[in-house]
């Protein structure tokens, strides 16, 4: 050995852990730490991707408190489900929203079942609604509530009513704070004849239907072409709204007291105006209408002011804002707007007319008018948002598909 070179002393390494020490894992972190990690993810697509990793992360990402916190910091639009025909007789196709800022949208879609491979295409399912992170399908005898993120579904028997009646089905969030995480409600409205209807509400907590009585006094004749049926339901704050072809009244069904009522349209909005009722980002009921003005087309946003204890016919609409359509869609020459498709949790979806092929759709936020998605579809389109107010995006573990 060369002189001047010191021999290294045997001892414990200063940087490396002992060989028998266990490596840190997710089990060594408590839920508060994991929540802080998840809330710092850059987008809703990142959260969806992380939630697919394990049951523990799904449970944290599904809690009402976490989703409300995350929703305040990040957009929640993951994409849109759209059908290829107006009859909704085919399984819808998923269109991811804009790159989701971090490139995780494709990974989130692959982690879940957004291509609906577990939904039997031969069972005659027809899409009815898409709310709170779930899809609602119906066939001749059953209803299916499917969560593409957790790949779980619940098959529910329809209410045993008269088979000749026409049914309208809508999906609502759970009550929130009722001790049932991931709960949901489903409304089934039966209308038979011109001025008679009754509703039933299914709760995932009880697993049973609660039926109402026939209502003859506060039901408006739907007047849809060729059949006595309602247009697709529009909902906000636990109430469902339906358009009417000939009058300035909106049919309303309150899922709490199971009562029918109606409310008049705002001033200047007509039965055949291009409008939709839905929820703003704060959960309040709003109406977005496309109206003609002397200097071009404008979007108007109305808020429904109900007040406490007031009857529906005393409700009033208040004009909250209006803006030129060019501020949303730009100055590009688009075809005429066909209709306002939906307003869901502050996301407005509009559709442009196209007689030669699929219609162009644009989705934007009411808060900042930022366009979040563009796609084409020949049929109905449904925004898919991660829930954040009342319910979890995941079904109960005991529920089986």
Q: pLDDT tens-digit profile of 52-65?
A: 788 888 888 877 67
> Could you count the other beta carbons within 10 Å of the beta carbon of residue 111?
19
Tens of pLDDT along 254-264?
988 888 988 99
Asked, for residue 9, whether it belongs to a domain, the answer is no
Per-residue model confidence as pLDDT tens digits over 63-91: 767 876 776 666 678 889 998 765 556 78
| Residue 399 covered by a domain | no
DSSP single-letter state for residue 331: S
Number of domains the chain is built from: 1
| Buried/exposed 152-171: b ≥16 CB within 10 Å, e otherwise | bbbebebbeeeeebebbbbb
Integer Cα distance of 281 and 71 in angstroms: 10
- Predicted confidence at residue 278, as pLDDT, reads 94
Mean predicted lDDT score pLDDT of the chain:
77
> 180, 204 in Cβ contact below 8 A?
yes
Which structural domain range is residue 354 located in?
29-385
Global confidence as pTM: 0.77
More confident residue, 42 or 20: 42
Domain-located, residue 48: yes
Structural domain includes residue 188: yes
* pLDDT band of 194, cuts 50, 70, 90: low
Mean pLDDT of 17-41: 74
- In-domain check, residue 2: no
d(CA 304, CA 285): 6
pLDDT digits (tens, 9 = 90+) for 230-248: 677 899 888 999 888 788 8
At residue 272 the predicted structure's pLDDT band, cuts being 50, 70 and 90, is confident
Q: Determine contact, residues 363/97, Cβ cutoff 8 Å.
A: yes
Question: Does 166 map to a domain?
Answer: yes
pLDDT of residue 57: 87
Residue 16 lies in a domain: no
Residue 353 belongs to domain with CATH number: 2.120.10
| pLDDT of res. 132 | 81
Whether 274 is covered by a domain: the verdict is yes
Contact yes or no for 353/337 (Cβ under 8 A): yes
């Amino acid at each position: 050995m060369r002189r001047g070179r010191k021999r290294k002393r045997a001892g414990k390494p200063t940087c490396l852990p002992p060989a028998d020490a266990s490596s840190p894992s997710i089990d060594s972190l408590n839920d508060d730490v994991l929540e802080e990690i998840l809330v710092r993810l850059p987008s809703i697509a990142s959260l969806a991707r992380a939630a697919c990793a394990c049951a523990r992360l799904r449970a944290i990402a599904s809690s009402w408190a976490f989703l409300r916190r995350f929703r305040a910091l990040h957009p929640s639009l993951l994409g849109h489900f759209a059908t290829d025909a107006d009859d909704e007789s085919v399984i819808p196709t998923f269109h991811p929203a804009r790159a989701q800022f971090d490139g995780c949208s494709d990974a989130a879609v692959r982690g879940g079942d957004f291509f609906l491979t577990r939904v039997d295409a031969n069972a005659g399912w027809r899409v009815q609604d898409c709310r709170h992170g779930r899809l609602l399908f119906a066939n001749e005898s059953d209803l299916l509530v499917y969560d593409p993120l957790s790949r779980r579904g619940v098959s529910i028997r329809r209410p045993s009513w008269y088979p000749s009646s026409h049914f309208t089905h809508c999906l609502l969030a759970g009550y929130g704070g009722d001790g049932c995480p991931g709960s949901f409600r489903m409304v089934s409205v039966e209308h038979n004849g011109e001025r008679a209807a009754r509703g039933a509400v299914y709760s995932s907590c009880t697993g049973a239907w609660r039926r109402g009585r026939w209502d003859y006094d506060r039901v408006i004749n739907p007047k849809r072409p060729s059949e006595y049926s309602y247009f697709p339901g529009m909902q906000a704050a636990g109430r469902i709204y339906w358009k009417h072809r000939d009058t300035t009244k909106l049919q309303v069904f309150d899922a709490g007291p199971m009562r029918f009522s109606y409310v008049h349209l705002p001033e200047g909005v007509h039965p055949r105006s291009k409008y939709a009722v839905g929820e703003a980002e704060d959960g309040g009921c709003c109406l977005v209408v496309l109206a003609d003005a002397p200097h071009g087309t404008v979007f108007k946003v109305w808020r429904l002011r109900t007040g406490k204890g007031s009857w529906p016919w005393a409700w009033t609409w208040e004009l909250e804002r209006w803006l030129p359509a060019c501020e949303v869609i730009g100055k590009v020459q688009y075809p005429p707007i066909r209709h306002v498709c939906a307003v869901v949790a502050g996301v407005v979806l509009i559709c442009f007319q196209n007689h030669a092929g699929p219609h162009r759709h644009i989705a934007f936020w009411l808060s900042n008018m930022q366009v979040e998605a563009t796609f084409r579809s020949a049929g109905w389109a449904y925004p898919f948002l991660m829930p954040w107010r009342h319910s979890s995006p995941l079904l109960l573990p005991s529920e089986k598909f």
